[in-house]
Amino acid sequence: MTSDTSFPAGPGDRTLDPPPGCPAHGLGPGGLHRLHEAPDLRELYERLREEYGPVAPVLLHDDVPIWVVLGHAENLHMVRTPAQFTRDSRIWTPLKDGMVKPDHPLMPHIAWQPICSHAEGDEHKRLRGAVTAAMQTIDPRSLRRVIGRATQRLVNRFCETGRAELVGQFAEHLPMAVMCDILGMADEYDDRIVQAARDMLKGTETAIASNEYIMDCLRRLVARSRSRPEEDFAGHLVRHPAGLDDDEVAQHLRLVLIAAYEATANLLANTLRRVLTDPGFRAQLNGGQMTVPQAVEQSLWDEPPFSTIFAYFAKQDTELGGRRIREGDGLLLGIAPGNVDPRVRPDPTADMQGNRSHLAFSGGPHECPGQDIGRAIADVGVDMLLMRLTDVRLDCAEEDLRWTESIASQHLVELPVRFTPQPQQDVKSLPTHTPMPVPQPRAAWEISTVRAASGAVPASEAGPAPDGVPGERRRAAWPGPEPAPAAVGAVRTAAPAGKAGAAETGPVGAHLPPEAGRGRPRGPWQRLARWWRRH
């Protein structure tokens, strides 16, 4: 993009004057909108779509010009055409011309780094191949078990109080706990690393120190993995044939950790907020018309974790969405506006169940390699939380909820909730809102051909019991009347400890197979045994 603000787009280019009724605030040279000054980016994107179409010119901080891609098809074309568009910011014209200063607020997002998300060609294949191969070693069942135990631990922290703040106490912690375990640094997970990640992403005065704290943790992990490789993500990364050096390994661990953390924390918070504030959405979940994975996918359409991604750059003069894009121009991947493009989603409120064509995880060579991990964390975390706290509800007015918004993302500040206090649960157990009491051991083994008590159902017949209460599911549906108890004999069982020689009798067959005692014809050996006992 040239340093002037004319944004030539060839014949028929529309005027860049501000649209009728647009306030002067937020406008820069040439009447272009400053994204960082917009009070409502969603509303601005729709206004830009009406004014310019699927690709619109805008300004970043310091009035640096850039295009924002608003169309769904145009975004996909950009990310899937590496011959025309690259992530390498070193060709960006405003950067080469000195418009983008080293202290520009967006430099941490845009500055080129020797990592796979900025590389191209053979170097991209080498780095991306190592990351993808390490991802493929993660066992999905083990991953869900890690997520489940982390969820149980977090809910145990506040389940007995009846109140919680689900952003700070849950959504911001669960992804970090899981990712630290996956990477091989489970011992590093604590409140401090969560706070450091949040502080770094906010871009505060202490962001550099927070980033250095996280990098120190990752460098220790790399050193440990070099000397004693484990079967974790870091261990597989250092052993990969691509031969990543220590700095490359640490930088890619940071990329995976922070990208997965921020995206999944936002996804968890957005999904839970939707469940708590949209009665129809929650009714679909409770009624079985929607599964938790479908609810998460709907959230990826409506409130993607990242609104835009910085940035792609034109490698040559080209055309996109009816606009002439010059070599060196920068373009923002518009995830949020692309997801509501009227050409693919005429009704932005419509359910998108079963449709994964959203832009939340980008696409093309730089598509997010860890998207299945993010989905799993959100699926399991939301499901287990709602299983534990079935009556959880918002503890403030919906209009009092607040967000911190940037060009890149929208982050929910707090999500206060109330619920009926619940006891803590074993982190290795499946969640339930009616914890099952610890079973007492039997003093002796009973064998009987009849039910031990009227109305009881053999455990083998009851099937899986709801909420961990054995024998409840099929009791009401037992076919026919209960047969009258009839003793058909007894067997001597082991005497309890301390009562040598004592005998206990129990109804025969209490633990025989389900067909026992149902009036089935007996075999010849059973009839012989019965005759022998009588005589």
- The pLDDT tens digits for 235-247 are 999 999 999 999 9
The pLDDT value given to residue 207: 77
Mean pLDDT within 159-185: 95
Q: Which of 106-115, 251-260, 316-325 has the highest mean pLDDT?
A: 316-325
The pLDDT value given to residue 281: 87
Q: Answer yes or no: are the C-beta atoms of 262 and 201 closer than 8 Å.
A: yes
Residue 57 has pLDDT above 50, yes or no: yes
Distance CA 415, CA 169 (A): 10
Residue 280 has pLDDT above 90, yes or no: no
Residue 40 has pLDDT above 60, yes or no: yes
- pLDDT tens across 495-525, in order? 444 434 444 434 334 444 444 444 445 566 6
Distance CA 41, CA 205 (A): 25
Distance CA 283, CA 269 (A): 19
- What is the value of pTM for the model shown? 0.75
Residue 493 has pLDDT above 50, yes or no: no
Q: Which residue has the tokens 């135990």?
A: 149
Q: Answer yes or no: are the C-beta atoms of 56 and 46 closer than 8 Å.
A: no
- pLDDT tens across 439-473, in order? 455 555 444 444 444 444 444 444 444 443 333 33
- pLDDT tens across 397-420, in order? 999 999 988 888 888 999 999 999
Q: Answer yes or no: are the C-beta atoms of 164 and 158 closer than 8 Å.
A: yes
| Encoded tokens for 65 | 């010009």
Domain 107-418 indexed as CATH 3.40.1190.20: no
Q: Return the percentage of the chain with pLDDT > 70, whole number.
A: 75
Helix (H) or strand (E) holding 180: helix 174-183
Counting other chains too, the contacts that 226-235 makes at CB distance below 8 Å and 24 or more residues apart are: 230/184, 231/137, 232/182, 232/183, 232/184, 233/134, 233/135, 233/137, 233/138, 233/182, 233/183, 233/184, 234/183, 234/184, 234/185, 235/184
- Domain residues of the chain, as ranges? 107-418
| Encoded tokens for 139 | 């066992």
Residue 214 has pLDDT above 60, yes or no: yes
| Encoded tokens for 457 | 């159902």
The candidate with the shortest Cα–Cα distance to 459, out of 439, 444, 435, 443, is 439
Confidence band for 483, pLDDT divided at 50, 70 and 90: very low
Measured distance between the N- and C-terminal CA atoms of the chain, rounded to whole angstroms: 104
**Could you count the other beta carbons within 10 Å of the beta carbon of residue 257?**
24
- pLDDT tens across 333-384, in order? 999 999 999 999 999 888 888 788 999 999 999 999 889 999 999 999 999 9
Q: Answer yes or no: are the C-beta atoms of 451 and 173 closer than 8 Å.
A: no
The mean of the pLDDT values for the chain is: 80
Residue 306 has pLDDT above 80, yes or no: yes
Per the model's pLDDT, the better-predicted residue between 190 and 398 turns out to be 398
Confidence band for 534, pLDDT divided at 50, 70 and 90: low
